Amino acid sequence: MEEIVFLERDSLDAELRRPAFAHSWREHTGIPGPEETARLLEPATIAIVNKTPLRAATLARLPRLRMIAVAATGTDNVDIAACRGRGIVVSNVRGYAEHTVPEHAFCLILALRRSLLAYREDVKRGRWQQAERFCLSGHPIRDLHGATLGIFGEGSIGQGVARLGRAFGMEVLFADHAPPKAPDVKFTPADEVLARSDVISLHLPLTPQTRNLIGAPELARMKPGALLINTARGGLVDERALAHALRAGTLAGAGFDVLSVEPPRDGNPLLELDMPNFILTPHVAWSGKQAMQALADQLMDNVESFVRGAPRNVVS
């Protein structure tokens, strides 16, 4: 009988069906520390986690563990090499956020391109009420139609952002990168994407190769009027370099749903920004109601497929 332990059950606000095979089920809330993680997962043959770190030292204490079902697309919290060495199958959830994350990205893009926060603050302070004519100007408003959207990452979410961009009449560029690559995508050199785009949107996993993908040199290549949007992983961007660029005015704005450390702690330079051209949301782009249910359903599909002997969405 399979022993299933679900850590961070509170991270998934959706109905979760129980597997259609003999099993025991334990679930816990919160993200435990390494010692507590090892203790809670000690009986598990199948572990379900979201962001709980599962490093080599922890995995070595879990001899019964056969599968890790990640309740997310990103697997940077799991030591994939250690899992491979121990014969542990790791599966993730794919495609569930192909609508909800692009929609959130465009919420950020539209708010920033039209100076929404700045105009809202003007109304709160009574500036419109004191104006001499019917409208109050003073902050830039830029249409998306005719602008260029540069996308790093051409998976289902990147493709979803591209579809919305084209619907707004934007030219869409995908930045070239090392394989694997999606089929039938026309790529543009990354430096050219940085230089030509009015909006850069990031949709890549966090790996050693993509960490700090956007740093001071990349920010310097972007247009002074450009926006940087990150709804993927905080570690893709050098946060101090971004804060400096925004304060210096060399970048028009940025919209982030992620930070390098979550939940954020004191000292993150982006937390210190109080500017109408910077929007930070608390890692919620993925959590649309329909998307959460699709995630929950696919998560259990992964578990059931593994037990049937036909693992799916395998990343190790």
Catalytic residues: 233, 262, 283
Q: Which residues contact 131 (CB under 8 A, 6 or more apart)?
A: none
The H-or-E segment that residue 242 falls in is helix 239-248
278 pairs with which residues across the strands? 254
Query: What one-letter code names the amino acid at 314?
Result: V
Helix pair angle (100-113, 116-124), 10° resolution: 60
SS3 35: helix
Q: What's the angle, vertex CA 200, arms to CA 194 and CA 201, rounded to 5?
A: 140
The two three-digit tokens of residue 40, written as one number: 């809670």
Q: Are 109 and 229 in contact (CB under 8 A)?
A: yes
Q: Which residues contact 264 (CB under 8 A, 6 or more apart)?
A: 270, 271
Buried-state track 189-213, b at ≥16 Cβ within 10 A, e below 16:
ebeebbebbbbbbbbbbbeeebeeb
The two three-digit tokens of residue 150, written as one number: 């540069």
Q: Are 300 and 17 in contact (CB under 8 A)?
A: yes
